[in-house]
Amino acid sequence: MSSTPTTPPISEAKVEDGKIEKEEDAPAHAVSVTPKKKEPPPETPESIRLRLFVILSFWAIVLFLGLPIWWRTTAIYRAKLPLDQMMDWADGRACRPVFPLRISIEADSLQDHEAQHLLRTTQHALDDLNDFSAHHLRLQLSPPANASITVVGLPTGGSDEEVALVIRLLPGTESKADLQSYSPILDVHYTPNQIPSSSSSSSFLATYIANTLREMFAEEQAMISYLLSTSSAPPERSPKALIPEVAESLAKWTTRSIKYSRTYHLTFSLFTPSATPSSWDIEAALEEHMKPLLQSFSSISNFTIDTQVQLYANPGVNGNVLKKEDLSGFINAAEWPLSPSIGGAPTVNFIIYVGDMEVEGGGKSWLIPQWGGVVIQSDISDLRPAMLIFSNQLMSLLGAPESGSLPLRLMTLVRVRSAGLLLKASGTMGSLARLTLALPSISIPKSVADGVYTTIEHLRKACDGLGGTEGLENAIIAEEAAEKAFFEKSMVGQVYFPDEHKIAVYLPLLGPVAVPLVMGVLKEVKAWRKRRRVSR
Amino acid sequence: MRRLLSLLLSVGFLALFSSATSSDYHEQLLLRPLHPSLLLASFNFQSNTSLASFEQQNFRYFPRSLGQILQHANTRELHLRFSLGRWDAESWGARPWGGAREGGTGVELWAWVEAETDEEADGRWLTLTNALSGLFCASLNFIDSTRTTRPVMSFQPTGDHSNSTLSDLHLLHGTLPREVVCTENLTPFLKLLPCKGKAGISSLLDGHKLFDASWQSMSIDVRPICTPGSDDCQLQITQTIDMVLDIQRSKRPRDNPIPRPIPEEELKCDTSKPYHSGDTCFPLDAASQEEDWSLSQIFGHSLKGTCSLAQDGADPVCVNVPHARHVYASEGALEYKDASGYSRCFKIAPDKDFELVLPQQEISEKTPLEQPLLYAERSFIGYGQEHGGVQAILTNPSPTKAVDFVYMESLPWFMKLYLHTLRAKINGLDEDIIKEMYYRPALDRKRGTQLEVRIVIPANSTVVLTYDFEKAILRYTEYPPDANRGFDIAPAVITIGDVAIRTTSLLLPLPTPDFSMPYNVIILTSTVMALSFGFVFNLLVRRFVAVDEADQWDFRSVRVKLRRF
């Protein structure tokens, strides 16, 4: 600009500071002046250096004091999370879920070496049959001293070796297997000629036992392998693909069953479209048909119960024959007071509707996935059939397998639930880790980090103790801690704090302050380059 | 007067106590015409359940949703009120149920919670308010510590509590004067009834009519009642709805609600006026005429049979009119006239619609109004944004009897009461009529002021209670979205034995800031800081030269440069 000055400078005289007048002509200006313009006296190197120091010290304050203070005061607290570990759990690298089921053989009638041999051959046959390494049946001989003790109910977590099933070998006239209904004992009858000789590598009895066991645990195996296949475990771990029909029924099983909880709340409701009947003998019916079942669940979950009678309740659909698609609209959610119970426990609703409607194709009851069951009954003097239906519906809502004796179903439920919770908690850990990485602007309070560490600790314990009630207990704790960490309230609010808002607050101060600072640097650089060109 | 009171109460209120022992359900509607052209409709629903089955959670007449909340929050006695409007005691007389089933404007809740410590009671109270808030679609969850008081003299438990539980009971009281009671509160209320508005007197209840009323109050009371000397205890739930309907207004058809002039041929003119002619009409005074009305006109439809659960023999519908008044009921209904001469009840056929018609009638005899025990008015006095005052005018109309009552105020913390300015003047004279006082000062943002004063007013006297207060300045975020509307102050509760009277709520204007202020402050301070920084910085960095030595802005060269691009 100064290279092409054509207008004469405005010649208004101004009284300047004495200091400035003292300054000498800068050599830098000497080159590009036109003879018309009066040049300021050159600057002394001291004043140039002084100005440089001033600018530098301002920038130093901004960079080394201002920025750190701003950074520290506006930074969002993000507790350190063990992201690698969390991702390991989510991807199934941290835990290899194995369900070693101990099956004890009581063979009092056999010689010790015979029994040992039978055990070896049966185990061999079992291993040959099993293609799913996560679910492993291990046989053992029960010590003779304990031979008379029968295991009743669920094994407790106290012993280090939990026995899933006891096989009692009994001499008989024909070979057959009987599963006892109320205790996990399988009676296997054999004929004397079936005792394997020590030389043969396989025997009929061994294969028979192996096949029976395999059949008994097939459903459980399918459930666990389905759970593993739907999780994000590495492909080499997941078992070979399930048969489509089995997979479909298992998919239904997962959509049907309610999320696990320590306590469930059961609500039994009587709905009637008119004013009668206004009372029912529910107390006795529950006492007789429900309480024993709930009692046997006590090691897995607890239950609280309430009942109600609702008159003048009309269903959401009309007509005497209910079509399949009507069933979902039958519950009149707007008018029927079926609010979930207060407190944390999930509510399972069981409804008796007084009427003589029928579902298309027969049947008067149906199950609503993850919600409860409905029975239509015109006469409520006998509640036994309804209670039996409700018991069945409750079992399937809780996710118990469909076959087997009650104790075995419950034990299977324990294992399946622990596997499910373990996978769920691991999945939550992975989601939390991904969330942390994806949203750098959310704060992570210390409680989340604590929750993550608790989860990982209990996941580890659960993984080590899979198969027993202790594993379930740890999996519950892990899952609860994981959910709590993921749904931490204070993490949500920060997500929506927009950047525009920050700019609107900072800009009025930072803009006007930054302009002279930057311009000062630019001018100084320009002057320095000019000086260098001159000196060259 | 006393006779009338006993009559009024004997129809419903007292009947509740006598029938309390059996496990039953009871409902009754009481209609009472008020002057001028108004109708008070009092609905009363009551059911009992044995405490044992309640504790086992076997619910029959008692609503499950409410029962679970009470158990979860360890609440032994509950009183919940939703009210709207002002009861005009001067022309309508005493309140229905003696004011016992009525709350202040908005929502009022008080409960006896069983807990060992105050903190535990506060926690359970929080659970209770939050759960009830969900159940009744009301903002009850906003009853926080600043809106909760623990009355000392005003409320007494109405249920029978054993001495051991009584020592662990904590009374907590909260109000929400700002809450607008509306249809969404009526729907859950009706769901709690066994007959759910499908049959019986509850079939008359309709949100359009209820919330169109001049005054209305919904109440829910839960209390344990025990037969003396035995362990046989029951839990009683009483639900009432009282409303004062404008007959003229209710009679307007719903699809055409705009009032229209009476057609010419139906006009009743005073022909004695000299200017009466074909096109001028002086309407006849209709005040001597009783308004004609029927159930279906007032409530939109007739009553749908009886709720068959109500089998205690009480007549479901009663009307308080003189016996001389014509009342026509639909077929199948039986009429029973009361000996007092001012009340009659109807027994209804179970499955038939019931209709009640009262034609227009000229009648000199009127049902006497019951005089209230006390007239109470409360208003703000003073001026300005900083200070103010409250004046309560309490009049005892009785010519013979003195009234002993407790006046309770629960004020928000930002209304700072000066207790030394509390004055009670009786008939204009300073006299010491305050017998007892309980005062709990406010803590900023933690709790409100609680003031309970026991006063005795002699017969035929007026007491003026005044006090001054200072308005606090709130923080920026503490103002509600419509801050300029003002802040609602809860009604004062006046307790005279069993009778409770509430004043209207007040609207307190507080100084409100300009809400764009924080951003303006940011901009202004930033500008000042940036200016001073730039000034100092330039002073240090700039080189000062004489004007003729300085670089000049040369516009022509800029133009040349621009043209080059």
User: What ipTM does the predicted assembly reach?
Assistant: 0.81
Owning domain of residue A470: 85-94+405-495
Q: How confident is the model at residue A21 (pLDDT cuts 50, 70, 90)?
A: very low
Q: Kindly list the residues from chain B whose CB atom is less than 8 angstroms away from the CB atom of residue A55.
A: 541
pLDDT at B272 over 70: yes
Q: Give the C-alpha separation, A407 to A348, whole Å.
A: 22
d(CA B190, CA B206): 10
Q: What is the mean pLDDT of residues A482-501?
A: 75
Domain end point (choices A398, A417, A447): A398
Contact with chain A for residue B141, Cβ under 8 A: no
Task: Check B548 against A9: CB less than 8 A apart.
Answer: yes
pLDDT at B404 over 70: yes
* DSSP code at position A273: S
**Residue A322, min C-alpha distance to chain B (Å):** 24
Q: Answer yes or no: is pLDDT of B536 > 50.
A: yes
Specify the amino acid at residue B356: L
Same domain, residue pair A372 and A429? no
Closest Cα in chain B to A24:
B545
Residue B473 reports pLDDT greater than 70: yes
Q: Nearest by CB to B549, which of A40, A509, A517?
A: A40
Let me know whether A394 and A271 are in one domain: yes
pTM: 0.81
Task: Please list every residue in chain A whose beta carbon sits closer than 8 Å to the beta carbon of residue B556.
Answer: 6-7
- A234 has pLDDT over 60: no
Cβ B352 vs Cβ B76: under 8 Å: no
pLDDT of residue A420: 87
* Any domain includes A354: yes
The count of domains in chain A is 3
Pair (A325, A263) in one structural domain = yes
> Residues with Cβ < 8 Å from A424, sequence gap 6 or more?
A479, A482
Per-residue pLDDT, B18: 38
- Which residues from chain B sit within 8 angstroms of residue A51, using beta carbons? 540-541, 543
Answer yes or no: do B68 and A312 touch at CB < 8 A: no
What is the pLDDT at residue B395?
94
Regarding whether A338 and A291 lie in a shared domain, the answer is yes
Tell me whether residue A188 is in a domain: yes
A494 falls in which pLDDT band (50, 70, 90)? low
B186-191, long-range: CB < 8 A, 24+ apart: B186/B210, B186/B211, B186/B218, B187/B137, B188/B135, B188/B136, B188/B137, B189/B82, B189/B136, B189/B218, B189/B220, B189/B239, B189/B241, B191/A335, B191/A337, B191/B63, B191/B65
Is the pLDDT at B477 greater than 70, yes or no?
yes
Q: Would residue A155 count as lying in a domain? A: yes
Residue B543 pLDDT exceeds 60: yes
Domain membership of residue A200 (yes or no) is: yes
| A414 domain-assigned | yes
Spatial neighbors of B340 by CB under 8 A, at least 6 apart, are B3, B4, B7
| A247 located within any domain | no
Q: Which range among A132-141, A191-200, B105-114 shows the weakest confidence by mean pLDDT?
A: A191-200
Q: Which residues of A touch B201 (CB under 8 A)?
A: none
Give the number of other CB atoms < 10 A from CB of residue B5: 14
Q: What is the DSSP letter of B326?
A: -
- Please check whether residues A411 and A389 belong to one and the same domain: no
Mean pLDDT of A320-338: 85
User: Does residue B549 belong to the interface with chain A, where contact is any CB pair within 8 Å?
Assistant: yes
Phi, psi values for residue B4, rounded to 5°: -70, -40
pLDDT for A128: 81
pLDDT digits (tens, 9 = 90+) for A434-464: 988 888 777 888 999 999 999 999 999 888 8
Is residue A54 in some structural domain? no
A243 inside 8 A of chain B by CB:
no
A73: closest CA of chain B, how far (Å): 17
Mean pLDDT for the stretch of residues B384-403: 93
Compute the distance between CA of residue A445 and CA of residue A108 in angstroms, rounded to an integer: 61
Q: Whole-angstrom Cα distance, residue B318 to residue B32?
A: 9
> In terms of pLDDT, which residue wins out, B69 or B231?
B69
pLDDT at A15: 41
Residue B72 and residue A307: Cβ atoms within 8 Å?
no
Rounded mean pLDDT, B346-350: 88
Answer whether A22 touches B (CB < 8 Å).
Answer: no
* B537–chain A Cβ distance below 8 A for any pair: yes
* Displacement of CA B358 from its chain's centroid (Å): 30
**What are the φ/ψ torsions at residue A343 (nearest 5 degrees)?**
100, 175
CA distances from B486 to A98, B106, B471 (A): 66, 15, 12
| pLDDT (0 to 100) of residue A1 | 37
Whether A13 and B548 lie within 8 Å, measured CB to CB: yes
User: Cα(A274)–Cα(A271) distance, rounded to whole angstroms?
Assistant: 9
Calculate how close chain B gets to A397, using CA atoms only, in Å: 23
* CATH number of the domain within which A303 lies: 3.40.390.10
Check residue A154 and give its pLDDT: 43
Banded model confidence at residue B8, pLDDT cuts 50, 70, 90: very low
pLDDT value at A146 more than 50: no
- To the nearest whole percent, how much of chain A has pLDDT over 70? 84
Least confidently predicted of A19-23, A123-127, A261-265: A19-23
Q: Is the pLDDT of residue A180 over 90?
A: no
Distance from CA of A505 to the nearest CA of B (A): 7
Domain identity same for A140 and A173: yes
pLDDT tens figures, A388-413: 999 999 998 988 888 778 888 888 88
- Average pLDDT of span A503-516: 84
- Averaged pLDDT for residues A355-380: 88
Distance CA B99, CA B13 (A): 12
Mean pLDDT of chain B: 87
Q: How confident is the model at residue A493 (pLDDT cuts 50, 70, 90)?
A: low
Nearest CA-CA distance, residue B188 and chain A, Å = 9
CATH number reported for the structural domain that contains residue A155 in this entry? 3.40.50
**Contact (CB<8Å) B557/A509:** no
Does residue B20 surpass a pLDDT of 50?
Answer: no
User: Which residue's entry shows tokens 């109440």?
Assistant: B219
Taking 90 as the threshold, does the pLDDT of residue A193 lie above it? no
**A335 part of a folded domain:** yes
Mark yes or no for CB contact A311/B552 under 8 Å.
Answer: no
Start and end residues for every CATH 2.60.40.740 domain found in chain B: 375-508
The answer to whether residues A112 and A198 belong to one domain is: yes
Mark which of A495, A511, A530 sits at the end of a domain: A495
The answer to whether residue A427 scores a pLDDT higher than 70 is yes
Give the amino acid at B367.
Answer: T
Please state the φ and ψ torsions of residue A203, each to the nearest 5 degrees.
-145, 165
Q: Which of residues 187-206 of B touch A (CB under 8 A)?
A: 191, 194-196, 198-199
Fold of the domain spanning B375-508: Immunoglobulin-like (2.60.40)
| Residues A355, A434 within the same domain | no
Lowest mean pLDDT among A2-6, A529-533, B197-201: A2-6
Identify whether residues A373 and A432 lie together within a single domain.
Answer: no
* A297 and A377 fall within a common domain: yes
User: Residue B128: which of B61, B180, B75 has the closest Cα?
Assistant: B75
Chain B residue with Cα closest to A524 = B541
**Pair A421, A384 in one domain:** no
> What's residue B307's pLDDT?
86
